Structure 1
Amino acid sequence: MNRREVEFNIKVLGRLLEHLGRQMYKQRDAALAELVANSWDATATRVRLAVPVTDYDPETSQIVISDDGIGMSEDQIEAEYLVVGRNRRSDCSEQSPSRKIMGRKGIGKLAGFGIANSIEVETIQGGERTSFAMRMADLKRGADELAEIPIHGVVEDVDPGLSSGTTIRLTDLKHTTPPNVDALIESLGRRFSRVVHGEMEIIVNDVLVAEPTIDFETRVPEEGWSQAVLGSHTVRYYYGFSTTVLKSNLLRGFALYANGKTAQAPPFFFGTETTASGQHGTRYLYGVIEVDYLDAGTDDDGDLISTDRQAIDWESPEVEELQEWGAALTRDALREWAARKEENAEEEVLADEHLKARIERLDEPSQKELRKAIRMIGRAEADPAKLLDFASTLISAFEYRHFHDVTSEIEAISDPEELALLLTHLTEWKVLESRAILEVVRGRLQISDKFHSMLVNDAPETAPEKGVENLHDLIADYPWLLNPEWQVLYEEKSISRQLREWGNSDIEEGQLQRYDFLALRGASELLVVEIKRAGHAVILEDLHRLQRYRDNLRLGTDIEVSMVFVSGPQWATPKEDWEEIGGLELLEWGAVRERTRNFYDQYRAVLEADIGHRDFAEMEREIARTREVVSDGAYRGTVLREQGLGSQYGEIRSDPARGE
């Protein structure tokens, strides 16, 4: 079998090749999509990608792209492939009657350098296999140096019956983590139009890539395509709204395609996502628009699409009509979606006989306002299963509003029968019970004000002497002050005792460590909280101490343990050094207080509507304690300290560190 060595040449200006590959194709999916597009231009009917998943090592793993296209001869490699910036479209000999060439700038071949330091090429055509490799280290030159760099290659005879095609191997990979194969498949499915998927199979690790499958609630048109005429150009499109939220951003909004490949990558809404009604619909909208005319030229003059095929030049007057049409289409689609969701929500609520009866007991103005609110729920609520629960809460809010309207009437009533009738209505509405909830809300706002006063006056972290109010006691009484969404589990417990309670090995003797609070965020993250008074200047040891708490607590639980440090704005050590540390949240007292205040200000209406609250005993306890704190100060004393933390609604009473 004949085998000979050859020498190819590539012209390089400075670090141009490095910049083109690295800057334009840093993302794996973008780089690999460019190489897949080259297979399309080579008239391939199948392109396979082998992507490493297990035992990934950037130094030894490789990504392989192979196709069954026309391949390249020795002369084509020298005169065409290795010419950077060559415009393939200007060469009529390469045009396929059935395919429009995607490549135009002649730099897509460099995409591999965005994710690898070495590109190995093996191509078969006419009974010959030609192999060569390009390494970025060999191609680098000085800033303004123009050089012709030799590339060693091998040409050998193969069985004339062996199919043509090209294989690209990317080695010495740049990313330190293995590729997300599912995300790559999804991206390639969205980056190429159904025309491409229909004529060329794209296969990743033996999985056929296809246009994303969407479970449409509505689709326009129901099948096929719609057309729109924009001046002298015709565009094809379809869009729809999924039955559930589209979790991936790549699936949301419109993708615009030119000659089978993205010209504008999703998520894209023609700039309407912040102004159009029905904005929640952007999470459900999936659309495709074919705008081949934007990429109809054979040269770079008037180029309207970015090199990486991610964005259209929307500042160009040539796309002004497309922009206006697309914006109108998107606004109308979102508006129609919102109207449809509103109508469906109202119909579903009224179909519930119990809810319908409650609505009909309201006066006409209230019914009108309530229906408007229910329609709004239908537009905003992502989980349809919760619609009736939300509607019931809304109805309760309107029912409760009557309590305010009739209080003056109760005082004026002198007829017992009239009073009995009124109380019958109030009992039916259950609004008398909701006074306790409202009082809790008001009490929490008062405690928030007390919290603010103590911060302004630089209250101590703990009581320096008996009877002195302090931040620790206030937070222990009202753990929600730290964050209404956390569950504070324990206070001021030694790490040693905590580890023993969790049934784990103790730390070394002599390590006296006692955290301020241990909280739960969500169901799978513990937070060890350290607080410092507002006037304290944070020092390095404060943060190192918190890290030791975290490290030792991790010995006793499989649950993730993160750190929260709460202090004033004064730092005696560079704060920026700690802001980027993973698992550490730095909070200032002012922001904590503001968040808590805002939480209850915004939550007030919901609480007022929560007529069926499950635990009034704890509310009564909190109301009584609130009066004591507001009147006498935030000092608990021995008895209350033995009782432990104050009430937290919906609190988790089991120990998460034990997996209970």
Structure 2
Amino acid sequence: MNEAKYKMSINLNVLNHLGIKLYSNVPAVLSEVVANSWDADAENVDIEIKSDQITITDDGHGMTFEDINEKYLMVGYERRTHETGKTAKHGRLVMGRKGIGKLSLFSIADTVEVQTIQDGKKNGFVMSAQKIESQIQKGGSTYNPDPLHESQVDLHKHGTRIVLTRLKKRVSQAASALRKRLARRFSIIGTEYNFTVRINENPVEITDRDYFHKLQYLWYYGETSQKYIQFCNSQKLEHHELREGKIEVENEGEVGAFSHQVTGWIGTALGSGDLKDGEDNLNKIVIMVRGKLAQEDILEDFTEGGLYTKYLIGEIHADFLDVDNEEDIATSNRQEIIKDDPRYLALRDWVKGELRNIKRQWTNLRNEKGIEEARQIPAIDKWVQDLGPDKQKQAKSLLGKIGQLTLEEDERLELYRHSVLAFESLNYKDSLSALDKISSENIQDFTRAFANLDKIEAALYYQIVQERLKVIDTLRDNAKSNVLEKVIQEHLYEHLWLLDPAWDRATETPLMEQNVKTAFDEIDAKLTEEEQKGRFDIKYKMTSGKHVIIELKRSKRVMDDFELIGQVDKYRTALQKLLEEINKDEPVEVVCIVGQLLRQWTNPREREISRRSLAEKGIRVVLYDELIEDAYRSYQAFIKKNRKADRIYQLIQNIETEEADTD
């Protein structure tokens, strides 16, 4: 036979790319060893960690001399091609596929010693990273590990031991961290699967994952996944739900699709901070295949940015991703999945749908809880109760969004305060629709703009002033007409601030008002015709703790001090008598609104003397024109001063403008 014309050769340098420099952490590397033990039908795996050495011993079937050379040391040996996809003793689905996992050991150690025994026959060898590198530099294609004498193999019955020395990674803290991380990387550890893994003699258990107790809500897939509920904290887990885990995968080149079942769970933590675990971030959904971690985090494939995503954690078991007669879907480091494979795309679409459902439910559940927690504060509960039905709904929505956040108690109380102030400010502006723009993500920034009570009061007062100026404008429009008395009568009693800015509104005192009216009617009946012609109206009001008699004189009537005192004194005396009868010692003021200057007001000096004389008797005289113009000047000055300074009002205006633009 003629010698082959062509020949392909493999340089040992390929080992660097296939595994020696592919892994970066101890748990990932040791996971490959544990997976090999599973494939070897081991029932016990013991990992011993020392400062300068890691030893992994299992009681699997071990290896013969031929197995070592033809399988273990054969880089790229595909077990599922040459053997069945299930183990002989326990019928386990094997995890290994590419035959390069053992190379990962050199990521954390320079020296790897392998001891093994099968049917009483012992074999062993030592591999050195330095010697492999030396062969690589020489361009070699073969590396010969150093053999161990049979006496150096400290094993009995059956099994394999791997000893890692000259460690590259510090492992002083690896024991505690490794237990947790191995528990998270495998779902087949424990008596249920007849597979026990120990670290420094302590068994690794599912509870070592150390995250189930953090869950507030849980969605699990398939009846077999109901078991995860028992690992959660019953007092913290507030909601759990069974979901269907059926996935349809299109069969390339054929009509129809294959239906697959996934199991596992997706949950949300009570607080997003609960998912911070030292250097680890638990805010991810891992994909498990054949009981071993295959994808670190499928959430990375989504651009979803809702607040709820910060609380997500999960573990989806999708064995259909690894079927013996289909192409390998895993990347070389066995920690990720090829993203454009139809099987993975189908899984991703299914996860996307589940996330939509979880987002909706999480938002509703957290809102309900947030409202319930907020209303445990009596002041907030009363505030909500006092609102009308529509505004109650908006207030509850606002409080619910606060409930979605993870806050310390003092932070939550502060946000409640800011939110109530924001609500009231927008409510007064009749702009509660602006609350629709608030989400759980921006509520803190939004309501912080309303944190300054002075600013809130300024914003509200700004609105009050604008409304009052409208009233004043109405009066000014009628100032020269013959209906001014009627217009003032219509507005004055409902807007006592025209007489005094401090008199915001009248206090309702029906019984007192009726008694005063009766007393005033008796006095009116005794008035002369001239006195009746000179008056337009008289009213009693109570405001700011003061009893006020308001008399409107005809705008054309000219009076003097003595006439005015004589007329109003009767009403004041009657009112004071009524107050004495009910044991009330409260101030009484009489305000007379006139259209013409009093006869004594011939010059500023005489006017001031008259004013003081009347004030001593609790009487104040206000001219119609001065009433209007004084009020206008007072409020217009405030408007000019605060229009630019009031940031809150500007913010509200901006929101309204934005709403108008999007309509």
When the two structures are superposed, what TM-score results if normalisation uses the length of structure 2?
0.55
Cα separation, 1, equivalents of 2:161 and 2:329: 31
Contact 1:197 1:210 in 2 (8 A): no
Aligned equivalent of 1:243, options 270, 291, 314: 270
Q: List gaps (5 residues or longer) in structure 2.
A: 1-8, 228-241, 249-256, 429-456, 470-496, 509-543, 545-646, 652-663
- Output aligned runs, 1:88-127, within 5 Å: 88-92=79-83, 95-96=86-87, 98-127=91-120
Cα deviation, residue 135, structure 1: 0.2
Q: Over aligned residue pairs, what C-alpha RMSD do you find?
A: 3.4
What residue identity is the alignment partner of 1:41? D
Q: Give the corresponding residue for 2:405.
A: 380
- The 3 A distance-change label for structure 1 pair 318 and 82 is same
User: Residue deviations 1:393-448, cap 9 Å, x none?
Assistant: 32133346653233453676224597255999xx9xxxxxxxxxxxxxxxxxxxxx
Which residue does the alignment assign to 1:227?
245
Tell me which amino acid in the other structure corresponds to 1:66. T
What's the CA shift string for 1:612-639, capped at 9, x where partnerless?
Answer: xxxxxxxxxxxxxxxxxxxxxxxxxxxx
CA contact (8 A) 2:116 2:153 kept: no
Q: Which residue of 1 aligns with 2:48?
A: 50
- Describe the superposition over 1:175-226 as per-residue Cα deviations: whole angstroms up to 9, x where unpaired: 2563443332222111112467732112222332223251232222482475
Residues 1:369 and 1:419: Cα distance change in structure 2 (over 3 Å): farther
Pairing of 1:327-366 with structure 2 (within 5 A):
327-361=352-386
Tell me, what secondary structure is at the counterpart of 1:86?
coil
**Alignment match of 1:302 (pick from 322, 327, 330):** 327
**1:125-136 pair list within 5 angstroms:** 125-136=118-129
With CA pairs under 8 Å and 6+ residues apart, which has the higher RCO, 1 or 2?
1
1:94 Cα deviation after fit:
7.8
Residue 340 of structure 1: how far off its partner (Å)? 0.8
User: Residue 151 of structure 1: CA displacement?
Assistant: 2.5
* Partner-residue secondary structure (3-state), 2:97: coil
Name the count of aligned residue pairs: 405
Q: Which has the larger radius of gyration?
A: 2
In the alignment, residue 227 of structure 1 is paired with which amino acid? Answer: G
Deviation per residue, 1:239-264 (Å, 9 max, x gap): 22233422235533321111111121
8 Å CA contact 2:21–2:104 kept in 1: the answer is no
Q: Residue 163 of structure 1 corresponds to which residue in structure 2?
A: 157
- Per-residue CA deviation, residues 98-127 of structure 1 (Å, 9 max, x unaligned), is 201111111111111011111011112222
- Listed as ranges, the matches of 1:253-652 within 5 Å are 253-266=284-297, 268-269=298-299, 271-272=301-302, 274-275=303-304, 279-297=306-324, 302-361=327-386, 367-383=392-408, 387-399=412-424, 403=457, 404-407=459-462, 409=464, 413-416=497-500, 419=503, 421=505
**Structure 1: 5+ residue stretches without partners:** 1-10, 428-603, 609-660
Q: CA deviation at 1:365?
A: 7.2
Question: CA shift at 1:362, angstroms?
Answer: 5.7
TM-score between both structures, scaled by the size of structure 1: 0.55
Amino acid at match of 1:228: K
Distance 1:133 1:127 in 2: 20
1:73 aligns with one of 53, 59, 64: 64
**What's the offset of the Cα at 1:304?**
1.3
Give the Cα separation in 2 of the matches to 1:179 and 1:12: 39
Tell which deviates more after alignment, 148-157 or 168-177.
148-157
| 8 Å contact kept, 1:129–1:158 | no
Counterpart amino acid of residue 205 in structure 1:
N
Residues 161 and 409 of structure 1, relative CA distance in 2, 3 Å threshold: closer
Q: Distance in 1 between matches of 2:190 and 2:296?
A: 16
Q: Distance in 2 between matches of 1:361 and 1:36?
A: 64
CA shift for structure 1 position 355:
0.9
Contact 1:49–1:64 (CA<8 Å) still a contact in 2?
yes
Distance in 2 between residues matched to 1:385 and 1:118, nearest whole Å: 55
Question: Distance in 2 between the 1:357 and 1:40 partners?
Answer: 62
Aligned counterparts, 1:165-204, within 5 A: 165-176=159-170, 178-194=172-188, 198-199=192-193, 200-204=195-199
The one-letter code sitting in structure 1 at the alignment partner of 2:370 is A
Q: Cα 1:361–1:144, aligned 2, differ >3 Å: closer, same or farther?
A: farther
* CA apart distance, 1:91: 2.8
Q: Is the 8 A contact 1:263 1:311 kept in 2?
A: yes
User: Relative to 1, partners in 2 of residues 1:106 and 1:408: Cα closer, same or farther, differing over 3 Å?
Assistant: closer
Secondary structure of 1:99 counterpart: coil
Cα 1:159/1:305, change in 2 over 3 Å: closer
Distance 1:197 1:259, change over 3 A: farther
CA distance in 2, matches of 1:23, 1:384: 48
Identity of aligned pairs, percent? Answer: 28
Q: Which residue of 2 aligns with 1:430?
A: none
